[in-house]
Amino acid sequence: MAGTSRQPVVELVTSPAELGATIRRARTAIKLTYRDAADRCGVGYRFFIELENGKRTARLDKTFAVMMGVGLIPLIVPFEEAKKAFGK
């Protein structure tokens, strides 16, 4: 269908809770259960659930594994540029 290409969804994440919610949306969009997602990402089931619930002390290596495992990649942008782009 012409003209129906989807633009990628870009979200501004500024807290553990927002990161968890973004991960949850990505996981559910690809229709993975917690257990399947944890296995796919190489992390424990409990860690995955805690991360989606905004775990403030999550290990960075595991967090990156989860993000990439559900199809997300972090992008570092200067704070002032992000505020302009997202109106926050």
Q: Each residue of 16-46: pLDDT tens digit?
A: 999 999 999 999 999 999 999 999 999 999 9
Residues 16-86: name the CATH superfamily: lambda repressor-like DNA-binding domains (1.10.260.40)
CA distances (Å), 39 to each of 20, 26, 42, 46, 75, in order?
Answer: 17, 15, 5, 11, 24
Q: By percentage, how much of the chain surpasses pLDDT 70?
A: 90
pTM of the model: 0.84
